[in-house]
A and B are shown apart, each in its own frame.
Chain A
Amino acid sequence: MATWIHEAVRPRTLSSIAALLLALQAGGAEIQITLDPASPGREFEGIGALSAGASSRLLMEYPEPQRSQVLDFLFKPKFGAAFHHLKVEIGGDVNSTDGTEPSHARTRAEFEHPRPEHFDRGYEWWLLREARQRNPAILTDILQWGAPGWIGQGQSDAEKFFSQDNADFIVSFIRGARQYHGVEINYCGIWNETPHNVPWIKLLRRTLDRSNLSRVQIVASDQTGNDPWRIAREMAADPQLLNAVQVLGAHYVGFHSTPEALATGKRVWSSEDGPWRGDWQGARQLARAFNRNYVLGHMTKTVIWSLVTAYYDTLPLPNSGPMMAKEPWSGHYEVQPATWVIAHTTQFAQPGWKYVDSACVSLPGGGSCVALRSPSAAEDYSIIVETMDAKEPQTLVFRAAGRLGKRPVHVWRSNEGSQFDRMDDLPLNSDSFTLRVEPESVYSLTTTTGQQKGHSESPPSVEFPLPYADDFESSTAGKYARYFSDQGGVFEVCRRSDGLGQALRQTVAGRNIDWPFHPTPEPYSLIGSRNWRNYAVSCDARVETGGRVSVWGRVVLSPQSADPAKGYCLSIGTDGHWALKAFTRTLAEGQTEFRPGIWHKLELRFAGGRITGLADHVELASVDDWTYSRGQAGLGTGWNQALFDNFLVQPLTGPELPEPINLAKGAQATASSQWDDQFSARFAIDGDPQTRWNSAPGKLTNEWVDAFPPVQSSRMRIVVLEVNGNDARNSTPSLYEIEVYEAQGEGQRRIGAEAEWFRRLLAFPYTNRLDELPLAPPYARARYPFSFTYNGRPSDTLLPVWPTASGTNDLGDGVATSWRAWTDPATGLRVRFESRCHQGFPDCDWVLDFENTGSRDTPVIESIQALDLMVATPLEGEAPYRLHRTEGAPADPTDFEPAIVPLKARQTERLSAGGGRSSNRDFPFFKVETGEGSLIVAVGWSGQWAAALNSPDGHHLRVTAGQEQTHFILHPGERVRSPRMLLFGSGQSLESEPVPAQ
């Protein structure tokens, strides 16, 4: 017993001491909890939810009655989640996680000449109205993630954001809510999870006050990370700031505030919290947060993100809400366990009730309890108990000190098996009542009535149906087009200037003030199912003056960065340049006529591995690429306005690509450190994208996860460079999932398929003579016929886990090219291998290309060997291989003199240019005699090349060649190439083979 008493002691909290006393009183058998209304307690301010980051995008599209049913589950008192508080994003035309939310003043002209329709953009106004309609007492709250680019002046986004313009922009939002929607805004934040600016907080206060909005309270400053309550210290030292701010709010604080925050005398909130999931695991964490944020941190309100999962699965942090409404085409929705755990508080206490601190305690056997008292004369009580850390049942004895009279105590319970079940009322026994609580459960005990587990029928889930067409005629001008989810820019329905009905317009013509956690990508908007496979997506498009338009397909992911979507994109600009890309990799590009001011037809077709792009019904490119086998469709532009019409997605017939198998799933994994057991390395290979590994607190650099897939002989080390996300843990390196996929269409595991691909490449496409090349697939050392070191790690361990794409192109006249590219998802380094073969010749030549497609300098790239082969066919006799080398030409009688050098075990033969002149010391072409033929190597580089040949064991021969020394970084956008390497081989003996006719 002493053990659990000891564990209950958390010295920083009064409630822990109370728990200790309770435990001592209980003597191990029962836990005595006194419901003493005279004990102090803060005012409860409610449980809230946050509609932001475009997380509610699809809800508005729901048909009736399902849309109203979902809204009832969210906001209707004593029905479902019954949120007390709704916080919404002030749209800034920037991506704030799962898309862009439109602003009510996109330009200064719109700001100075507002029109009613500007205040009907997006869905937050509508959501505020619907929430207040269901619960007139609901509290409303607003916060910015970014802002339109016209706001403010200065060089940096921060200078522009913290401006009088922006304070006025906020005031216009608040006034618009009242004027056009009848909604009063109660609270206003600063800049979500972005360092605040004290003078501007005061300026905002003054601006609100001058605008007769003194009743709007400022919440500051919604920070996360290592010091989320920093503003409390600044308020203590600055009376003006203290007066300007009414509420302290911080994000993902792990149940704790600080003494400084509490000492300000202000109300203290967990102003964004949540497990980002609605299943029972998410529900467990919510139950903890709602109770412990008060018990341990004295926070009186908890606001969770997101309000509802009403966004596509392809977007960041999928399924974050307590219920799902992401199928507006079917009307299907799901009320998840998290909804009912929220109801355990929201249906039992209202803002204005007071905590009864004598009964707000940590439970000695694991869990917590809060008690609340109504301010009404009836003096109602509700008690919420959660036992999420408990291993054994606990018996709680509540002593009511004569306050309950003869009213019965009603009990509601949730656990993993069943949620929000009404239990038998508790009998009052001498003014006390006893409850035995099971582990991993939530209980609400109350003297109030009227709670309800709301119910309505949801239609079955249905895949987004094909074909799908939208001519935008049935949408409202100025609003979104149905089901489109903007990830950059804002796409709004408009009247066509030619009078032919309506079209869709991308309206944002430049970068805005971004949320630093998610720089906005170039405009694109997604629609449809991530399970669409073989289809054609087409549309009419028109660029008014200059710029680009694009059509997208097979999009599987929209990254939380300025990168484009992970999928295919065909873009065409008014400069005539077109490109077909897979993510950032260019599959094909060229020039065509694409004039501004007229409508053009764009189309992308996907059939198996064949990707075809067309403009005005003319084929621009048709390539083979297996990177993305399925995914959503979409439209896009550059940073320019453009129009779209007659959007159409039609199914095509094509081979069904095999479902990729994540080879890393189920592998063994270890890491350099871990945050705790809930964030260990195994969560990076469990196949669940909602779980992740995090390094230990303070471990910020060179953190790694090793995975040992069962099919790979060598381990993969994933070094995590990106720090992403916005909770405290995510301020350290994190890794959601290591994914190593089976090669598409090959029917082989990827590792084998890589070797197979190179074998086929060397034979591709006209001759099988290169099958006789004395290479040793799978190569004993190298999987690829080249190598390099990146950030200290060899390419053979990196490339297998980088996303890859490949393609071929028949150039005619017996010449064919074939390429493969890998991109480091962490740094954007793209490595492209492009080879060329000639019909009738046993040759293959290639170039390696390194390009920084990221936004920061790359780590060091070094030791590039454009050729790195392992041969395993030794000669019989003393020397396993013979090198036929040729002297360079130093202008003496030995110019170009050949020599034959036996290559013995453990000796290295080196060749190189002299003084930077390609054939001064050694000639850059050489031959290797092997037991099964000869191999000719040519290094095409008019500079300091080098080659080395080494047989480590008398059986294998490693041949490397390339530029002699490489050690550099690439700035964003920079690109370098390697020497061109030519391999020429035959199965015949060396001297019997001619140099071919030209």
Chain B
Amino acid sequence: LDQASLWSLSQYLPNNLVTVPLTRLDDYSFRSTLAASLIPAWIADAPGFHLERARKLLDRYRAVRHLLVGAWYPLLPYSRSPRDWMAVQFHRPDLGEGMILLFRHAESPYRTVEVALRGLKAERNYALTFDNSGETQRVRGADLMNHLLLSLDTRPGSELITCREIAE
């Protein structure tokens, strides 16, 4: 639902105007609520609260929040269906940098999805860094805007991929 609301409102409103609270510490929840403002709704002094995990999420937010005020592209249609995927892209053409948020809903039988990125420079190379694995791929902009095949083995599953223009 958080993904859906952000997707809908992002059609019209800048990301710094919409936000949903983050109550959990898992990556799926964190990525589902990523807006330009983060509202941690954790109970930090609750017994068993994983403080280090929370710090890690905040660090991750700080590392990408400058991308959340960039142009917003829906890569896949809106869906609340548990069998679907959702994906959106943020991009800062002024920095040559952006990111992709990818979600495989809880009952989706599909392991891969094909998207086409937007707003890149066709002739430039981009480094795609996958948060889950830490791996980096080097891909031409034209290819990324043609098709990009993405996989998630778990369901529900999510990925945060940063995309940075790199020197030749």
Contacts and interface: CB of A to CB of B under 8 A. Distances in A.
Interface stretch (A354-362, A525-533, A890-898): A890-898
B25 interface: no
Contact of A997 (B4, B8, B69): B69
A886 B69 contact: no
Nearest to A998: B14
Interface in A838-871: none
A991 interface: yes
A925 B12 contact: yes
Nearest to B119: A994
Interface residues of A, number: 19
B21 to A, nearest CB: 14
Given A895-B1, A898-B11, A998 B69 contact: yes
A430 to B, nearest CB: 105
B94 to A, nearest CB: 7
Given A896-B5, A925-B12, A995 B71 contact: yes
A925 B11 CA distance: 9
Nearest to A892: B1
B70 A898 contact: no
Interface in B53-92: 69-74, 78, 80, 91-92
Interface in A944-998: 991-992, 994-998
B119 to A, nearest CB: 7
A936 interface: yes
Contacts of B9: 896
Contacts of B72: 994-995
Give chain B's interface residue range (CB within 8 Å of chain A). Answer: 20 to 34
Interface in A917-953: 923, 925, 927, 936, 938
B11 A995 contact: yes
A938 B12 contact: yes
B1 A893 contact: yes
Nearest to A899: B78
Nearest to B78: A898
B76 to A, nearest CB: 11
B118 A897 contact: no
Interface string A608-634: 000000000000000000000000000
B151 interface: no
Given A994-B119, A997-B69, A897 B78 contact: yes
A752 to B, nearest CB: 35
A886 B11 contact: yes
B1 A997 contact: no
A895 B94 CA distance: 33
A996 B80 contact: no
B10 interface: yes
B4 A897 contact: yes
B80 A898 contact: no
B78 to A, nearest CB: 5
A927 B70 CA distance: 21
A607 B15 CA distance: 47
Q: Which of A886, A893, A896, A923 has the most CB of B within 10 A?
A: A896
B132 interface: no
A896 B6 CA distance: 9
A913 to B, nearest CB: 16
Contacts of A895: 1, 5
A995 B10 contact: yes
Contacts of A893: 1, 80
Q: Which of A884, A886, A927, A995 has the most CB of B within 10 A?
A: A995
A997 B11 contact: no
B118 to A, nearest CB: 7
Contact of A897 (B8, B10, B69, B93): B8
B112 interface: no
Given A886-B11, A898-B78, A936-B12, A994 B73 contact: yes
B16 interface: yes
Contacts of A898: 7-8, 11, 78
Contacts of A923: 8, 12
Q: Can you list the 4 inter-chain pairs with the closest CB atoms, starting with the nearest?
A: A896-B8, A994-B71, A925-B12, A998-B14
Interface of A: 884, 886, 893, 895-898, 923, 925, 927, 936, 938, 991-992, 994-998
30 contacts: A884-B11, A886-B12, A893-B80, A896-B5, A896-B9, A897-B4, A897-B8, A897-B78, A897-B80, A898-B7, A898-B8, A898-B78, A923-B8, A923-B12, A925-B11, A925-B13, A927-B11, A936-B12, A994-B71, A994-B72, A994-B119, A995-B10, A995-B13, A995-B14, A995-B71, A995-B72, A996-B71, A997-B69, A997-B70, A998-B15
Interface of B: 1, 4-5, 7-16, 69-74, 78, 80, 91-94, 118-119
Given A925-B13, A994-B71, 8 more contacts: A886-B11, A893-B1, A896-B4, A897-B78, A923-B12, A992-B118, A994-B72, A997-B94
